[in-house]
């Protein structure tokens, strides 16, 4: 889809880059020439991910850390700079989620998701700012579509992602003067990701047929290639916007009446017009 060197001048730090969408973004940016640093809390997962990336010829390394901790965020930035000389792309993909009714959700559980998703995003952006200011850069915040409408059993994640969308707009407004662009990507149900497997389980195919107009799940590479596009000249004037890639899930509504009934009404109306 893109020339292989379209990301050749980029050093990318991806939180949550050891698996799922984060890994797919790391891989696609690496395949298009970027040098990649992935961050997460599980060293074994990160080591396996880096081994997979380097086997494809991608310059990659990892740093363990928790995005909730400002010191860890700073250490991740320093790792990218010490290894590759600079940092000019930050991808915030670290997230937490689980299903819970609102009345059973504890304050601590609510706070945990807010801290990982929202506070973690802010911590990473704040730590990356000095480098992005020097180099001119791009922040990509992985959001969701939960907050675009009311979502069952995810009041915590919906609140966290709504805040991330607000961070995207606010930082784009304030940091544009420094030639820093801030973009969100809001995936819908994406196949073979830890989040979807945990939330949907074996019911995924039936769920997708009910709520996604395209009647299929998305792929990790479909999301990753949007992230690559954001780094190309074609994406160079986009900032403060969250790109929705959910197969139409956020616009889905149950039809007010059966399709067959409307079809018959239309047929009858056409017949009458010919009389």
Q: What pLDDT score does 192 carry?
A: 81
* Residue length of the chain: 275
Say how many domains are in the chain. 1
Domain hosting 181: range is: 11-274
Q: What pLDDT score does 198 carry?
A: 60
Rounded to two decimals, what is the model's pTM?
Answer: 0.92
Domain for residue 235, yes or no?
yes
Domain of 152, CATH number, reads 3.40.50.720
Domain for residue 3, yes or no?
no
Domain for residue 1, yes or no?
no
Q: What pLDDT score does 128 carry?
A: 98
Domain for residue 5, yes or no?
no
Average pLDDT for consecutive 10-residue bins of the chain (275 residues)? 93 97 98 98 97 98 98 98 98 93 95 97 98 94 92 93 98 98 95 68 70 91 98 96 95 80 78 73
Domain for residue 191, yes or no?
yes
Domain for residue 178, yes or no?
yes
Domain for residue 34, yes or no?
yes
Domain for residue 192, yes or no?
yes
């Amino acid at each position: 889809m893109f020339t292989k060197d379209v990301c050749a001048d980029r050093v990318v730090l991806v939180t949550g880059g050891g698996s799922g969408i984060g890994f797919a973004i790391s891989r696609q940016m690496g395949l298009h020439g970027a040098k990649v640093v992935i961050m997460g809390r599980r060293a074994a997962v990160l080591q396996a991910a880096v081994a997979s990336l380097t086997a494809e010829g991608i310059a990659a390394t990892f740093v363990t850390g928790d995005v909730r901790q400002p010191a860890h965020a700073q250490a991740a930035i320093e790792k990218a700079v010490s290894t590759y000389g600079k940092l000019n792309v930050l991808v915030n993909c670290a997230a937490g989620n689980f299903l819970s009714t609102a009345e059973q959700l504890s304050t601590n559980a609510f706070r945990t998701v807010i801290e990982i998703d929202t506070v973690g995003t802010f911590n990473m952006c704040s730590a990356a700012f000095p480098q992005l200011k020097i180099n001119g850069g791009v922040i990509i915040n992985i959001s969701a579509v939960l907050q675009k409408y009311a979502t069952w059993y995810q009041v915590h994640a919906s609140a966290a992602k709504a805040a991330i969308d607000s961070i995207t707009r606010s930082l784009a407004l304030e940091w544009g003067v420094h030639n820093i662009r801030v973009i969100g990507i809001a995936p819908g149900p994406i196949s073979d990701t830890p989040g979807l497997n945990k939330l949907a389980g074996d019911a995924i195919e039936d769920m997708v047929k009910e709520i996604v107009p395209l009647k299929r799940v998305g792929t990790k590479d479909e999301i990753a290639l949007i992230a690559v596009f954001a780094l190309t000249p074609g994406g160079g004037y986009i900032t403060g916007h969250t790109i929705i890639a959910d197969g139409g899930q956020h616009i889905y509504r149950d039809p007010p009446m059966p399709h067959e009934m409307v079809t018959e009404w239309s047929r009858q109306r056409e017949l009458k017009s010919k009389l």
